[in-house]
Amino acid sequence: MPRPLTIGLTGGVASGKTYVGGEFQRLGVPLLEADDVGREVVAAPSPALTAIAEQFGADFIMPDGQLNRRRMRECVFADPAALKRLEAITHPLIRARIREWQLAQTAPYCILSAAILLEAGMDALVDRVLVVDAPTQVQLERLVLRDGVAEPLAQQMIAAQATRQQRLDRAHDVLDNSDTSQPLRPAIARLHRLYQYLAGELAKAAPG
C-alpha cells in the first residue's frame, strides 16, 4: 500500500512551526512531530541511550536512567561535531519510525513536522516542504524575551539550524510568521485545500 501524500513542515526555532502544526491538526490532518520520535528512540532502556552513554559519557544519563536532555542540548548546540555524533546514533532509528507511521495513515495527506527536516535529510521522506518563516532577529527576540533563553544560547540554537535562506530555497510553500498580529489561519486553510487536491491527484495516479 503506498503511503499518503506527506508534507514536511519546518521552520527555524521560535518561527511558529508548532502553532501551524496545531492548526493543521485542528483541521483533522494527522501530524507526527519528529521531536517526539526522537524522544521515544532514546527513552530508557534503549540501544540508542546505551550508545549515547558510550559516546558521550555516563554523566549524560540522569540518576533515573533517562537522558539528560538539557545537558545534551547545550553540548550539541555548542559543538557541531558532537551534534553529528548524536545524529549518527538517532537518525536511522527516527527515519524507520517515521516510515512506519506514514504507512499506517489513512487520511488523504499527513504532515511530518521537524525543525531539522532539511539538515537531517528528512525532506527525502516527504513530497512537499512547507516552511514557517520569520526573520532571524524575530526568532532571537522570541527566544530571549518570550522563552527566557539566554541570548548566547539563543544565538547558538539559531546558528545550529539551516539558515533562513537555505530553508526558503528548499520550500514549496511558505507561511510568513514575522508578524504575529497577522492571523495565519486563512493561509493555512488555503494550503489545506491545496494539499487535499494534490492528495487526490496522487491517489488517481497510483497504480491499481
| CATH code at position 135 | 3.40.50.300
> 162 and 88: one domain?
no
What is the rounded average pLDDT of the residues 8-24?
95
Same domain, 1 and 80: no
Same domain, yes or no: 143 and 194: yes
Q: What angle do CA 14, 19, 25 make, to 5 degrees?
A: 145
Crossing angle of helices 80-104 and 69-78, in 10° steps, is 120
Residue ranges making up the domain that contains 59: 36-104
Query: Which residue, of 56, 79, 104, is where some domain finishes?
Result: 104
Instruction: Among 67, 84, 104, give the residue marking a domain's end.
Output: 104
Asked if 93 and 52 count as a contact pair (C-beta separation under 8 A), the reply is no
Percent of the chain with pLDDT over 70: 99
Looking at the structure of the chain, the number of domains it has is 2
**Whether residue 114 is found in the same domain as residue 100:** no
CA dist 74 to 51, 71, 87, 156, 160, Å?
19, 5, 15, 9, 11
Is the predicted pLDDT of residue 146 greater than 90, yes or no? no
Gap between the Cα atoms of 110 and 100, Å rounded: 13
Q: Please, what is the average pLDDT of the chain?
A: 92
Neighbours of 4 (CB within 10 A): 20
Last residue of a domain, one of 104, 138, 155: 104
Determine the residue type at 127.
D
Determine the Cα angle at 23 with ends 91 and 186, to 5°: 130
Residue 207 has pLDDT above 80, yes or no: no
Q: What is the pTM of this model?
A: 0.87
Q: Which of 128, 175, 179 is nearest to 6 (CA)?
A: 128
Percent share of the chain, pLDDT over 90: 74
The three cell numbers of residue 2 are 503506498
Please check whether residues 185 and 112 belong to one and the same domain. Answer: yes
List pLDDT tens digits, range 40-54. Answer: 999 988 999 999 999
Same-domain pairing of 68 and 127: no
Same domain for 116 and 150, yes or no, is yes
pLDDT tens, residue by residue, 92-144: 999 999 999 999 999 999 999 999 899 889 999 999 999 999 999 999 999 99
